[in-house]
Copies of this chain bind each other. A is one copy, B any other.
């Protein structure tokens, strides 16, 4: 399929906003309006962020969701995205159609629309690279920043932690002892991240600081500490785990380390005064997600102190990335 046909038949139907001009122009436009426009750009490369034989719809969904997750963590309502799609020369038209079907489903799910972008031949020898730029609005409110975390504020994380990381381990043929039903749940978490995108409004209402957990809970909390110039205590016994991850940890305790340091969670890590926690948790639950307090921001050096059952287990400085 040539590029013009690909754009006209596969991608133009996703470009429902007038500002996209049916993908028939060099650039798209949207009204500026009150408040901030929040923008984020995350790219995924075949063989690095996904397996080349993953379902195209799942690759599309992940490409979009990792960006919408960032917007939600900034308290911004997503409304549109741009897509730069670098495809190998041998890419089949079916692949592009299935990829676009994944985008279409997510457009309906999240209320966003394709504004424009680029299709290009991938660098010879390499696989597909998918770059999404996503746009949100704060609607007059402030953008929630990770550096705004304040000592004394509680740390709350949505969803469960570690599912995707253990799902990836299982894919890499180094599985922990995981039964079939749990393996399927973990694989699904890796392939189809489900960030609480709708939580953008709750984050904006309750959170002092927030970021999405994409590079591992502990590593990302350390990044928040660095940005805020503060420390954090993380209560490992409070970290929310799914039934599948709990089963893996029961069979092999080292799976816990993987769960709290591995990437691809796409949950929201937020801080807020203690008095806001109950309201935040209830509002997140009203959206069909969960949220769990897991620690406290402390003054001092940007270090993460790990607590287990109230006792300090380990201290990690701000440059910590993985066990």
State the CA gap A25–B35 with chains docked (Å). Answer: 19
Choose from B25, B42, B122, B319 the contact partner of A123 (Cβ within 8 Å): B122
Tell me the A117-134 residues at the B interface (CB within 8 Å).
Answer: 117-118, 120-129, 131, 133
- Classify the secondary structure of A's interface with B: strand
Q: Which residues of B contact A204 (CB under 8 A)?
A: none
Known: A29-B36, A118-B42, A124-B126. A21 touches B147 (CB 8 A): yes
A108 contacts B by Cβ under 8 Å:
no
**Interface contact A86-B45, CB-CB below 8 Å:** yes
State the CA gap A41–B39 with chains docked (Å). Answer: 13
Choose from B37, B42, B45, B115 the contact partner of A30 (Cβ within 8 Å): B37
Nearest residue (CB) in B for A24 is: B227
**Interface contact A24-B147, CB-CB below 8 Å:** yes
**Interface contact B123-A45, CB-CB below 8 Å:** yes
Q: Which of A46-54, A278-286, A288-296 contacts B (4 or more CB under 8 A)?
A: A46-54
State the CA gap A26–B84 with chains docked (Å). Answer: 19
Give 5 CB contacts A-B under 8 Å: A4-B319, A27-B136, A39-B133, A43-B129, A46-B123
Q: Which of A70-78, A158-166, A167-175, A235-243 contacts B (4 or more CB under 8 A)?
A: A70-78
